[in-house]
Structure 1
Amino acid sequence: MSAIQDLVSNAVLSNSPLKILKNFLDKQHQLHSAGVKQDYRFIGYVLDLGYDTAKIITSDPYKIAVGGIPRGSFLILAIDERDEQGNPIQTGLPPHFTLLRVKSVSSTPLSNQVQHTYFELHKKSMPELDIWTQAELQWGALECDVIGMFYPKPSDKNSVEFSGDVNNVVSAHKYKVFSPDNDLLDLILNGLVNKENQQELGVFRPTECQVGLLNNNYPELKISIEDFKGRRTAMFGKTRLGKSNVVKVLADAIIRTSTTTQNVGQLIFDINGEYANDNPQDGNKSLASAHTNNCIVYALNPRNPSFKELKLNFAEQPESALPIIKSFLERDNQTSNYIKSFGNIELPSILEIKSEADKGKKIRNIRKIQMFWAILKSAGFNLDESKLISLNLSSGQINKFNPGLKIDLRNEVYGGTPPASPSNLNDLIKEFSLLATFIQNNKSSDLLRGSSEPLFDQDAIALLNFLNPASGSGTQILTSYRHYHSPSAGDFITEIIQLLNDGKTVILDLGNASEDVRKYFSDMLSKAVFASQEDKFVSNTLSDHFIQLYFEEAHNLFPNNNKENTTVYHRFAKEGAKFHIGMVYSTQSPSTISQELLVQTENFFVGHLASTHEANALSKLQHTFNGLEDDIKKSRTPGYMRILTNSHRFVIPVQVKKFTV
């Protein structure tokens, strides 16, 4: 009868992943019956079992046979009842096992007696123990967390399912505890991972300490790229311990799995230049070197002739350029009143001026832009005059570079018959410089008043005083900022959006740039990406296309104390999935990140955290890290991470592979 039952059982499990469990238990029984210790994975028995915790008793020979049982390692709890012939007793339940994670050493009912024995042993300096006492002392207990249960998926017996709770806790004596072999470990680690676009991340590493574990051939841990597309991913840990390497491995995996489909574009804000440039000193290759056909690098200071120039066109983007200039002036401690007044000006965009319906306001705004152009030209910025003329900033009498000053005002400014209206930037500099001097000397002149208000408001006066100050170096203090400008810049946003739509990986090399410049480019391109994806969503053209964004020093973009929830970055956190925008953000400290973002993050890669506060901040908002705080604080091996992805239901320790070309 048992042979028939065994045949039926094997038929039911023929295609089920849980056939591994039956084979494992059968093998362990055979090894036990034959007295063979090699490959014997038995750990011990259950002393106490609940829905959340389990206490197991074990002995030194069992622990030594499996290479040790470090804290945080996985054990399995399985019913293994057999008849006198060693055949499994049919319980009517499908094959299943409960996953345990070792939490700590626990006391046993005999702990006091054991301590008394040790005390007497050392007090009397006994040279050795008798074999019976040795056998008694080698027993101990372990406290474990009950992680959940693996069982056949009810709707598909050939698939495995996992629940975070257990619904079948029978008497403790019916269970046996085992350290899983590699086949079972592979099921535990990878059995729940989305089968589509799988990539190897690294090797399962249960503990930082490798004593007794070096010869264990642990299985590779797999991740699915589908878990990262359109989702939020956090990288936490102290610097130099592997966050950037994980980013490279992840970005590399996305490139490899989407090369043919071209359905994932990636934008990496590279604040240290490590993804765009090789680092021979550390033996590190860059992502750009690994994928020369799929990676396009834009750099503020290109270190490679193949890199594209990432510059601002100060003349055509005055509304963005002036705040950047202000940040430079503040950084360089330029505190003169006329300089601060210049930095506080808010210039309109070219588009705003062209759409202005009020003719008088439009003319005044055009003059301000022309004043700004004169300042740039005077500071030695390379401006394309023909291109500026083609912008067609004209209304009424203003054309080319003519600021449209009244003839009687020009007569006074020039002190006689004035020359023809400015037709180039040098003429414009001369006219505005003379105008600045006239205004400084004739502030109450009726020629400076219009029909109802002054011809030049405070912003215009500040521009003129900066161009030609009564004292001070004026525009010359801007000369050191010229390398951020290019007259041919301005179309890189359109280029980058198109590259992302084509499934390319774009790296913005922002190495050596100031925080303000980095933030400017991050803001500008993030808004452009969001707007592009939102337009696709509205027009129902998103299809299966995704864009992944990578941010470092994320606490600057998602600060925990920021009450402003309308920035583009918060929109990424809230609405990114809807618009097929994924986000990978890195920082050293979880506590510095917006709690709202943390709550909505699906994937975590956690290295060493230095303080209890940081570890607790993580586990407080992501409950699956509860109980792992001490391990996270103690381990400091580069690349040793604890990960949780959208597929995984529990945290897994892994040694992430080193990125190589």
Structure 2
Amino acid sequence: MQNVNSILKKSPLAELLQSENFVGWVYAIDYEFAYVMTNDLWKYKALGIPHNCFLVAASFDPQNLTQASEDEMEVILLRVLGSAKLPQDDDLVRTKIDHFKDQKSPMGTDRELDDITRSEMQFSGLKCRVLGTFFVDQDELWLGSDLESFATATRLNVYRPHGKALETIVNYVDPIRRNAAREMAEQLGLKGEIKPFQIGTVRYTSTDRLHRRAVRAEKVPVFVQPADFLGRRTAVLGMTRTGKSNMIKQMVSVVKRVADASQARIGQIIYDINGEYANANQQDKGALADIYPKDTVRYRMLEAEGFRELRTNFYEQLNEGFGIIQRELEEANRVTTDYVRAFVNLSLDEPDKGEFSEYKRWQVRVAAYKTLLYVAGFEPPANLKVRFDASKEIRTSVNSKAGENLPDPSQGLTLEQAKKWFLALRLANQESSLKSSSGNGKDWVDDALQTLINMIAQRQGNTYISGHRILTDAIKYHSPNRTSEVADEIYELLRDGKIVILDLSVGDARIREKVSTRIAQKIFQNSMQIFVEGRTPPNIVVYIEEAHNLIGKGMDLTETWPRLAKEGAKYRISLVYATQEVSSMHPNILANTENWFITHLNNAREVKELSQFYDFEDFGDSLIRAQDVGFARVKMLSSPFVIPVQIDKFDPEAERQRMAANQE
């Protein structure tokens, strides 16, 4: 039978306490703060005590666990907030001042302090926040995020954790979270064990001479759980050039690794405002498209080699293009006259072919609509023709007014021929109402067709109207090169697990915003529809830069972007948003964000906004002062507290090698 000592030695609590890193004792404690008395010598031996570093306190001796009572078997986790005043500090300050007054040399060699006074001066106090309590239950390490109780008479020894002890602390995930992560991975369709991945190493302060560069220092890795990202919201906040883009590239590569390892399809779409993900640059030495050439599809507003066209072909994607025209007219406040109202209320929806008469009317309406686009200046695809049926009587009337024999529309008309045909049709119908050949008494030129041919002719009766000219503002959204609706095409790529990059660095900013919103709307609506039908939506991760422009604090929660951010997780849509303006973000989205990566912020207002969440308030001064690239304060869903981390630099070459090894 094992003795008590051998059993206790297995306790993970003892591994958190390193006797060689003893730094002092707790001299006052409550539920929120602990005050520690330390000494210059102890701090030196422990490689200093940086601001915001972790400390651990316990009343038992880790070298003699047999003497510990059950009540003592816990370790209190602390974070250093700043200095604290000891009762004798005022006397010691007066002693120092008197000593300095007696010095004749700047180097202070005239008269040394006596040993007792010098010893007294080495003691100082630390103010620490209580982060929680480690304890063991059923041989597992647990962390409660508070103190269950405290005894002011108990002697609490304080240690600064290094190496394995610190690694255990910063990478701690409680058993409940671990099980939840496994269940979440199964729900997301991820197969096998999904291991945590390294995101960086612990870094407490901008000055890292002792705790990261000293010979005895050890850079402690920080890992995060992949399940924390999927179906969640992640904020990447900080000033320009402080590592936000590097962090997003790390996330993209991690999600790709998770997808490859678990044989799952996880689509990723990046709204690339500055073109830094779609294109290689000197800083990053490789674009994502170069690293994952088979799995990356790039889009751009303008034609470019290696990019797909982001705009819509109004001739092919009728409803999508017509929807853009409708929005343009409404935003320009052009829907004020009868014919414009009639136009925006047209329906281009294809009826059932069994509805013979309605279907033929729809064919004529579509032909007239495409002709209207043509005369308005929308460049048509090459060799485009329109086709519809017209009776011999109709054709004869039209040819009479056209002054020439135009081809039979059922055999196809070029758009120039269609223009002549519909202009002649309008004149023929003005003289005598043309009747449908079906014998139902209906006019062949119904109200919808009359509106379209009036706009082609720019005449309503004998009155001049702007007609097709009101469509010209929408030309910039049109491309004759597309054969399918871009939003539908992108959604299918995401379902297939591709990385889609929208290069929004070129083209009209207003167009970019509208196209971006339309794609986001399609992603949200399609995934929601799949979910409502009882099926499983695909896993999709959406990355957006300059997020305050899309999810601003003044936006209504029913708008596309706020709704995607708030409700998307339910439909397996993850959101990673990057911005330098925390205070400009929608507060509801910030409140529902699970993961945070915060680098340098340059003013107190942004820090104050951030201080409302978790324990970021402890890092306020550091966030403003420290401008080091990649120095982040990280709070993940699985982590119970904020961890200061130096984010690893994204390595394109290492990722290429990994991809090559997988293919072999």
TM > 0.5 between the two?
Answer: yes
Task: Report the equivalent of 1:35.
Answer: none
Distance 1:203 1:342, change over 3 A: farther
- Aligned amino acid, residue 485 of structure 1: S
2:514 to 497, 520, 528: 520
Q: Indicate the SS of the match to 1:576.
A: helix
The answer as to whether partners of 1:77 and 1:176 remain within 8 angstroms in 2 is: yes
Q: Hey, what's the Cα distance between the residues in 1 that align with 2:329 and 2:506?
A: 17
Q: Within the alignment, does 1:138 sit opposite 2:122 as a pair?
A: yes
Task: Report the equivalent of 2:69.
Answer: 91
Q: Hey, what's the Cα distance between the residues in 2 that align with 1:289 and 1:453?
A: 55
Aligned residues between the structures: 611
Distance 1:586 1:445, change over 3 A: farther
Task: Report the equivalent of 1:119.
Answer: 97
The answer as to whether partners of 1:271 and 1:518 remain within 8 angstroms in 2 is: no
Q: Within the alignment, does 1:263 sit opposite 2:265 as a pair?
A: yes
The answer as to whether partners of 1:44 and 1:62 remain within 8 angstroms in 2 is: yes
- Aligned amino acid, residue 168 of structure 2: L
- Deviations along 1:566-607, one digit per CA (max 9) or x if unpaired, are 233333333322222211111111111111111111111111
Task: Report the equivalent of 2:85.
Answer: 107
Mapping of residues 32-71 of structure 1, within 5 Å? 40-71=20-51
The answer as to whether partners of 2:301 and 2:311 remain within 8 angstroms in 1 is: yes
Q: Within the alignment, does 1:72 sit opposite 2:52 as a pair?
A: yes
- Aligned amino acid, residue 647 of structure 1: S
- Deviations along 1:256-278, one digit per CA (max 9) or x if unpaired, are 12114123222222232222221
The CA deviation at 1:653 is: 0.9
Task: Report the equivalent of 1:553.
Answer: 546
The CA deviation at 1:319 is: 4.7
- TM-score, with length taken from structure 1: 0.79
- Deviations along 1:86-123, one digit per CA (max 9) or x if unpaired, are 66522114743111111111211112112212322233
The CA deviation at 1:228 is: 0.8
Mapping of residues 525-544 of structure 1, within 5 Å? 525-542=519-536
Distance 1:323 1:380, change over 3 A: closer
- Deviations along 1:254-308, one digit per CA (max 9) or x if unpaired, are 10121141232222222322222211x3243222222223323333346543x44
The answer as to whether partners of 2:35 and 2:128 remain within 8 angstroms in 1 is: yes
The answer as to whether partners of 1:203 and 1:218 remain within 8 angstroms in 2 is: yes
Q: Hey, what's the Cα distance between the residues in 1 that align with 2:497 and 2:509?
A: 29
Q: Hey, what's the Cα distance between the residues in 2 that align with 1:124 and 1:462?
A: 98
The CA deviation at 1:75 is: 0.9
- Deviations along 1:98-154, one digit per CA (max 9) or x if unpaired, are 1111111121111211221232223333643222222222211111111111222x3
The answer as to whether partners of 2:273 and 2:545 remain within 8 angstroms in 1 is: yes
The answer as to whether partners of 2:81 and 2:128 remain within 8 angstroms in 1 is: yes
The CA deviation at 1:247 is: 0.7
The CA deviation at 1:550 is: 1.4
Task: Report the equivalent of 2:15.
Answer: 20
Q: Within the alignment, does 1:298 sit opposite 2:282 as a pair?
A: no
Q: Hey, what's the Cα distance between the residues in 1 that align with 2:578 and 2:481?
A: 34
- Aligned amino acid, residue 43 of structure 1: V
The answer as to whether partners of 1:560 and 1:594 remain within 8 angstroms in 2 is: yes
Q: Hey, what's the Cα distance between the residues in 1 that align with 2:448 and 2:497?
A: 52
Deviates more, 1:72-81 or 1:166-175: 166-175
Mapping of residues 143-158 of structure 1, within 5 Å? 143-152=127-136, 154=137, 156-157=138-139
C-alpha root-mean-square deviation of aligned residues, in Å? 4.4
Task: Report the equivalent of 1:34.
Answer: none
Q: Within the alignment, does 1:654 sit opposite 2:645 as a pair?
A: yes
Q: Within the alignment, does 1:425 sit opposite 2:415 as a pair?
A: yes
Q: Hey, what's the Cα distance between the residues in 2 that align with 1:656 and 1:644?
A: 13
The CA deviation at 1:237 is: 1.0
- Deviations along 1:399-435, one digit per CA (max 9) or x if unpaired, are 9xx9x98987986x65x68856762210223355679
Q: Within the alignment, does 1:562 sit opposite 2:555 as a pair?
A: yes
Q: Hey, what's the Cα distance between the residues in 2 that align with 1:337 and 1:263?
A: 45
- TM-score, with length taken from structure 2: 0.79
Distance 1:455 1:330, change over 3 A: closer
Q: Within the alignment, does 1:175 sit opposite 2:156 as a pair?
A: yes
Mapping of residues 139-538 of structure 1, within 5 Å? 139-152=123-136, 154=137, 156-157=138-139, 159-171=140-152, 173-192=154-173, 194=178, 196-213=194-211, 214-215=213-214, 216-260=217-261, 261-279=263-281, 281-301=282-302, 303-305=304-306, 307-321=307-321, 346=344, 348=346, 350-351=348-349, 367=365, 370-376=368-374, 379=377, 381-383=379-381, 389=387, 414=402, 423-431=413-421, 464-465=457-458, 484-538=478-532
Distance 1:516 1:368, change over 3 A: farther
Which runs of 5 or more structure 2 residues have no equivalent in the other structure?
179-192, 435-441, 653-664
Which runs of 5 or more structure 1 residues have no equivalent in the other structure?
29-39
- Deviations along 1:301-358, one digit per CA (max 9) or x if unpaired, are 46543x4443411223355436767999999xx99999xx989973756326779999
